[in-house]
Structure 1
Amino acid sequence: MKTRIITAVVALAIFIPILWLGGIYIEIASAVLAFVGVSEIFIMKKMMVIHPIAILAMLMGVALTLPDTFFKGLWLNKNGLFYAFILILLVATVFYNQTFNIEDAGVIAICTFYVGHGFFYLTAARDKGLPYLFYALLLVWTTDIFAYLVGRKFGKHPLDPVVSPHKTWEGSVGGTIAAVIVVLIYNAFVPLQKNLGILIIATIALSIIGQIGDLAESSLKRHYNVKDSGKILPGHGGILDRFDSFLFVFPCLHLLGFF
Structure 2
Amino acid sequence: MRTRVITAVVALAIFLPIVFAGGIWIQILAAALAVIATSEIVLMRRTLLIDFGAILAMVGAAVMTLPPEFMSAIDAPVIMHRSTMLYIFVLLMLVHTVLTKNKFTFEDAGVFTLAMMYIGLGFNMFVQARFAGLGSLFFVLLIVWTTDSGAYMIGRKIGKHKLAPAISPNKTWEGSIGGTVSAVLVAAVYAYFVPLHYGWALMVLIAVVISIAGQFGDLIESALKRFYKVKDSGTILPGHGGILDRFDSMLIAFPVFYLLGCM
Q: Is the 8 A contact 1:64 1:116 kept in 2?
A: yes
- State the alpha-carbon separation in 2 of the partners of residues 86 and 193 from structure 1: 36
Hey, what's the Cα distance between the residues in 1 that align with 2:89 and 2:29? Answer: 23
Q: Which residue does the alignment assign to 1:2?
A: 2
Q: For 1:81, what is the secondary structure of its paired residue?
A: helix
TM-score normalised over the length of structure 2: 0.95
Map of 2:15 onto structure 1: 15
User: Which residue of structure 1 aligns with residue 155 of structure 2?
Assistant: 151
Q: Tell whether 2:208 aligns with 1:204.
A: yes
Is contact 1:221-1:228 (8 Å) kept? yes
TM-superposed CA distance for 1:47, in Å, is 0.8
With 51-60 and 212-221 compared, the bigger mean Cα shift is at 51-60
The separation in 1 between residues aligned to 2:104 and 2:50, in whole angstroms, is 15
User: Using the alignment, how far apart are the partners of 2:99 and 2:109 within structure 1?
Assistant: 13
> How do residues 1-259 of structure 1 correspond to structure 2 at under 5 angstroms?
1-72=1-72, 73-76=76-79, 77-192=81-196, 195-259=199-263
Tell me if structure 2 keeps the 8 A contact 1:157–1:170.
yes
- Report the Cα distance in structure 1 between the residues aligned to 2:247 and 2:227, rounded to whole angstroms: 19
The whole-number CA distance in structure 2 between the counterparts of 1:112 and 1:194 is 31
CA contact 1:187–1:193 (8 Å) conserved in 2:
no
Unpaired runs of at least 5, structure 2: none
The code of the aligned residue for 2:46 comes to: K
- Would you identify which runs of 4 or more consecutive aligned residues in structure 1 move more than 4 Å? none
Say which SS state the counterpart of residue 171 (structure 2) adopts.
strand
Q: How far apart, in 2, do the equivalents of 1:63 and 1:6 lie?
A: 32
Residue identity opposite 2:262 in structure 1: F
SS of residue in 2 equivalent to 1:144: helix
Shift of the alpha carbon at 1:235? Answer: 0.4
Q: Could you tell me which amino acid in structure 2 is paired with residue 49 of structure 1?
A: L
Partners of 1:40 and 1:229 within 8 A in 2: yes
Aligned-partner SS, 1:121: helix
Q: Give the superposition deviation at 1:194.
A: 5.9
User: Alpha-carbon deviation of 1:147?
Assistant: 0.2
- After TM superposition, the structure 1 stretch with the greater mean CA deviation from structure 2, 188-197 or 211-220, is 188-197
Q: Give the alignment's TM-score, normalised by structure 1.
A: 0.97
Structure 1 runs not aligned, ≥5 long: none
Contact 1:38/1:57 (<8 A) preserved: yes
Q: CA deviation at 1:193?
A: 5.6
CA deviation string 1:190-242 (max 9, x = no partner) = 13266333122211111001000000001001110001111000000000000
- 1:134-179 C-alpha deviation (Å, 9 max, x unpaired): 0011000000000000100010011100110000000000000001
Residue type at the aligned position of 2:78 = W
Tell me the distance in 2 between the aligned counterparts of 1:104 and 1:202. Answer: 36
Per-residue CA deviations over 1:56-115 (Å, capped at 9, x if unaligned) read 111111111112233232232111110111111222222324422222111111011110
Matched letter for residue 190 of structure 2: Y
Tell me how far apart the structure 1 counterparts of residues 12 and 77 of structure 2 sit (CA, whole Å): 36
C-alpha distance in structure 1 between counterparts of 2:31 and 2:141, whole Å = 19
* Deviation larger for 127-136 or 96-105: 96-105
Distance 2:104 2:197 in 1: 48
Structure 2 Cα separation of the partners of residues 120 and 172 of structure 1: 27
Structure-2 change in CA distance of 1:193 and 1:92 (3 Å): closer
Q: Structure 1 vs Structure 2: percent identity of aligned residues?
A: 52
